[in-house]
Chains A and B, each alone.
Chain A
Amino acid sequence: MTDISSTGRQLPDRLDNPLRSAVLSWESLLVLVAVAIFIANSFASPYFLNAWSLSDLTFNFTEKALIALAMALLIISGEIDLSVAAIISLASTLMGLALQYGADTPVLVAIGVGAGLLCGAFNGLLVTRLKLPSIVVTIGTMSLFRGISFIILGDQSFKGYPPSFAWFGQGYVFWVISFELVLFAFFAVLYWVLLHRTNFGRRVFAIGNNDVAAQFSGVRVDQIKFILFCLTGLMSGIAAVLLTARLGSTRPSIAEGWELEAITMVVLGGVSILGGAGSIIGVVLAALIMGLVTFGLGLLNVPGIVMSIFIGGLLIVVIALPILFRMWRQRA
């Protein structure tokens, strides 16, 4: 086996001794980072270790993390979607528009989620039917979707969502456990099962490693990629419902820059940006880390823009460290 790995493609790490690879895995590194940041936070601010503080913390990442779950599958399959934040904007605008015509909560939710799904399907069709590179397609639809929001709204905003709708973004299921957190936990488990315990998930990995080989092995590559784009759109629609409900208003610039944060979560979670490798547990941990970092720094009154330095630095350092470590070990 070592002969093969030295001459051809590197074999995946999981063929190592299982115990050793579990200790040295990306996920355990992320757990360490998360625990370290958690401890640092509790020392840095007296307001951190408090049930309600910790509950507020979860609002920092749940909406983005919902998108990151689906984005992880998409990136594992070798595609990417940069239009997710624009989908939120369009879905939110359409909900606001429906509100003006007197739609009530169930209709609003259906419109938000449905709009997300349709946008995702549009991306999926362009990528799979016309064989276009997803990065360019979604840069285009990113401008298109948000552009439609700007056409509808201009510099105005939609307000006045009903209280029953606001519950989706502000409500608590039990004590400090918010609806958003419960929903995220539900989807995290769902996506974990989908990616790691079903044929569908196995095919997603196969496509990401070698889509031509997958095609010849009988995997319907285009169909699966189309479904993944639909799922990413759907999750963006759900995130749009939650975010709109939490903010209580819609502007065309809503969720600006979220596509990069969602992708950062996915990559930080150990998903290979080149496709073919990654895990849902890693993505969930990365979402938690990003929530911890931004919330902890927020408690210390660090401005959001400075936090973004930490997030960007974290992304590069966490990716670079194992590479440097490997280079150092090879040299030694």
Chain B
Amino acid sequence: MKNLIKQRETWLALAILLVIVLVTLRFSRFSQPANLLTIFNDTSILMMLALGQMAVILTRSIDLSMASNLALTGMIVAMLNAAFPGVPIPLLLGLSVVIGAGLGAFNGVLVWKLNIPPIVVTLGTLTIFRGLVFVISGGAWVNAAQMSPDFIALQRGVFLGLPVLSWFAIVVAALFYVLMTRTPLGRSLYAIGVNPTASVYTGIDVGKTKFYAFVIAGAVAGLCGYLWISRYVIASTEVAGGYELTIIAACVIGGVSIAGGIGSVAGVLLGALFLGVINNALPVINISPFWQMAISGSAILLAVVLNARGEASKGRIILKKAEAA
């Protein structure tokens, strides 16, 4: 099974390479390291969000409210910065994680304590969080002039040749790798997705684990709220509108099964990178950006067909092993 997952990731990596090679044929500077690093940096936020989403999807849940959480947390942090420019940025950064985690915990409690299906809960909070952005801001924007220079500069700094934003993605990815492969919580997330009933018998608190998954996704969304606002230097009600589905798309392309229990950090990173490479490649080869949506839609459909094949063959292998035993 591990080999199969590896194969899918290799396949995805090859697909990304193929796109890069094809675009380079038309435009030789595309594959220069500097440009590839730019693409990585551009995709950093999507990678982090998709990792958070993966934690939720693994447990057979879904979080549709991540983009709204991002917008709300981003707006709160931006307004705080505009009102009190003296507040140190690391504090705001920590605050964004806490606010995001709090919003995620709200989703999580409804799923855990009231047993409401996650899609219903997060459908509700998707609109509630987005509406709250409008309420607290009064529909006004927070723009570059109102933000303090440090607020904008932090993620643009360069450390060891990489922008700080890229480092955020790398650190978050490393944390997720440890969480998913080296901790009891990570194992529980997979276990619940594979078989919730068996998980209960092995002593896993299914509801509580789902709650943690939502808190993790919320914390990531909150962090990305600050990063998004300081990157695009505008906080408004429309920030990241509709982005929740792009996040899920990155997961699906990365091989995360919507039925839960299957997915890897590397796969999700590649899934996000695939979308990032496509988005960066289109303008370079003179394809109108209006093609972007249809292409990512086709990529999702293709990925889900391939995912389904992978999952089906996994089932057969288990049967073969059972017969052999």
Q: How far is the CB of A141 from chain B (nearest CB, A)?
A: 7
Stretch at the interface among B36-44, B140-148, B224-232, B299-307: B299-307
Given A142-B245, A305-B131, decide whether A133 and B114 contact each other with a Cβ distance below 8 A: no
Expressed in whole angstroms, the Cα–Cα distance for A288 and B135 within the complex equals 26
B134 cross-chain contacts in A, Cβ below 8 A: 303, 305-306
Q: Residue-by-residue, is A250-262 near B (CB-CB < 8 Å gives 1, otherwise 0)?
A: 0010001100100
Cα distance, A131 to B135, chains bound together (Å): 43
Residues in B neighbouring A312, C-beta threshold 8 A: 123-128, 131
CA separation between A135 and B259, bound complex, in Å? Answer: 10
Q: Give the segment of B159-167, B168-176, B185-193, B289-297 that binds chain A.
A: B289-297
Complex-state Cα separation, A252 to B293, whole angstroms: 11
The listed residue with most A CB atoms (<10 A of its CB), out of B64, B127, B131, is: B127
Would you list which residues of chain B between 281 and 325 have a CB under 8 Å from chain A? 288, 290-298, 300-301, 304-305, 308
Q: How far is the CB of A219 from chain B (nearest CB, A)?
A: 22
Encode contact with A along B103-124: 1 for CB under 8 Å, 0 otherwise: 0000000100011110111011
| B interface footprint on A96-128 (CB within 8 Å = 1, 0 otherwise) | 000000000000000000000000000000100
Whether B116 lies near A320 (C-beta < 8 A) is yes
Q: Which residues from chain B contact A260 at a C-beta distance below 8 Å?
A: 64, 123, 126-127
Pairwise interchain contact A144-B304, C-beta atoms closer than 8 A: no
How close is A115's CB to chain B, nearest CB, in angstroms? 15
Say whether A189 faces chain B, with CB atoms less than 8 Å apart.
no
A324: contacting residue among B114, B121, B298, CB under 8 A: B114
Q: Which residue of B lies closest to A312 (CB)?
A: B127
Report yes or no: A309 in contact with B135, Cβ–Cβ below 8 A: yes
A37 within 8 A of B: no
Residues of A within 8 A of B234 (CB): none
Known pairs A136-B258, A142-B245; A319 contacts B294 (CB<8 A): no
CA distance A222 to B64 in the complex (A): 28
A323 to B126, CA, bound (A): 21
Which of A145-153, A166-174, A177-185, A190-198 lines the interface with chain B? Answer: A145-153
Chain B: number of interface residues, binned into ranges: 35 or more
Is A316 touching B110 in the complex (CB atoms < 8 A)? yes
What's the Cα separation between A222 and B102 when bound, in Å? Answer: 42
A309 and B293 contacting across the interface, CB-CB below 8 Å:
no
Q: Does A30 lie at the interface of the complex (its beta carbon under 8 Å from any beta carbon of B)?
A: no
Instruction: Report the Cα distance A264→B115, complex, angstroms.
Output: 18
Q: How far does the alpha carbon of A135 sit from the alpha carbon of B139 in the complex, in Å?
A: 32
With the chains together, A139 CA to B253 CA distance in Å?
A: 12
Contact A147 B116 (CB under 8 A): no
Known: A256-B242, A316-B110. A264 touches B301 (CB 8 A): no
Contact between B237 and A305, CB atoms less than 8 A apart: yes
Q: Could you write out 27 A-B pairs with CB less than 8 Å apart? A: A130-B305, A130-B308, A136-B248, A136-B304, A139-B249, A140-B252, A140-B304, A141-B297, A143-B245, A143-B293, A145-B297, A146-B293, A147-B292, A147-B296, A150-B294, A151-B294, A260-B126, A260-B127, A273-B119, A274-B117, A306-B131, A309-B131, A315-B120, A315-B124, A316-B116, A319-B116, A320-B116
Residues of B within 8 A of A (CB): 62, 64, 110, 114-117, 119-121, 123-128, 130-132, 134-135, 139, 237, 242, 245, 248-249, 252, 258-259, 288, 290-298, 300-301, 304-305, 308
Inter-chain pairs besides A273-B120, A323-B115, 17 sampled, C-beta below 8 Å: A140-B252, A140-B297, A140-B304, A143-B245, A144-B294, A144-B298, A147-B292, A151-B288, A154-B288, A252-B290, A305-B237, A306-B131, A306-B135, A309-B128, A313-B128, A316-B125, A320-B114
